[in-house]
Amino acid sequence: MNDAAGAGEGRQTPEADWLRVPPSAPGMRIALYGGSFNPAHRAHLAVAETALKRLGVDRVWWMVTPGNPLKTHDGLAPLAKRVAAAKALAHDPRIVVTAFEAARHYTYTADTVAFLKARRPGVRFVFLMGADNLAGLHRWERWRFIAGLLPIAFVDRPGATFAPLSARAAIALARWRVPEAEAASLPDRRPPAWVFLHGPRDPISSTALRGAASR
């Protein structure tokens, strides 16, 4: 049921804990929520909570990544600091903060999901992201491969309600869109399958928080 990421094996420290792949069991429904989270904030938490409520998943793995390959790493806080900030927000025990991708030196989401699908074949994974990511999904490394490997849920974000739905990836995947009323069925669907979830939107952003902190 359990395995450990290469770095940190055999050391019983808090750091080793978040470098390991979190535990799971066959049949579990788990949403994978990845990003640099620089820093994590309440709008990120709202996305995770939406997945628990609307998708009916058992866990959300809040995956703090080493850094987004499509963005500059200038001003990127140390990984341990970003993990700590996410953990400070995630009080629900069903939200598990992890940075196992760093231990395995994964840069691209495609590598992460391929690894998890192979290592945990009995788990029903869903990829989770804010709706603003839908607009640029076509620029992700092997994005079609990702969409064909596991269902995806996009959660509404301020300024990202309509434009992403006319983006290149949304158009390419249009025929596999799941009605929002059927969102709870997403983890059980064969990919490609995706849903756009509406809900309370918080205008806070990591960019704004970094700007405020620098003043």
Whether residue 38 is predicted with pLDDT greater than 90 in this model: the reply is yes
Query: Rounded mean pLDDT of 71-81?
Result: 79
pLDDT tens readout for residues 183-214: 999 999 999 999 999 876 555 444 444 344 44
> Is the preceding peptide bond at 39 cis, omega within 30 degrees of 0?
yes
Q: Which of 164, 82, 70, 144 is nearest to 62 (CA)?
A: 82
Whether residue 1 is predicted with pLDDT greater than 80 in this model: the reply is no
Cα–Cα distance, 177 to 149 (Å, whole number): 15
Domain-by-domain residue ranges, the chain?
14-21+28-214
Q: What is the CATH number of domain 14-21+28-214?
A: 3.40.50.620
Residues 147, 133, 68, 45, Cα dihedral to 10°: -100
pLDDT tens readout for residues 91-145: 999 999 999 999 999 989 999 999 999 999 999 999 999 988 898 999 999 999 9
* Neighbour-count burial of 126, counting CB atoms closer than 10 A to its CB (0-12 exposed, 13-18 middle, 19+ buried): buried
Cα 209 vs. chain centroid, distance in angstroms? Answer: 20
Q: What is the pTM of this model?
A: 0.84
Q: Within the chain, what is the greatest distance between any pair of CA atoms?
A: 48
Task: State the pairing for strand pair 59-64/152-155.
Answer: unpaired
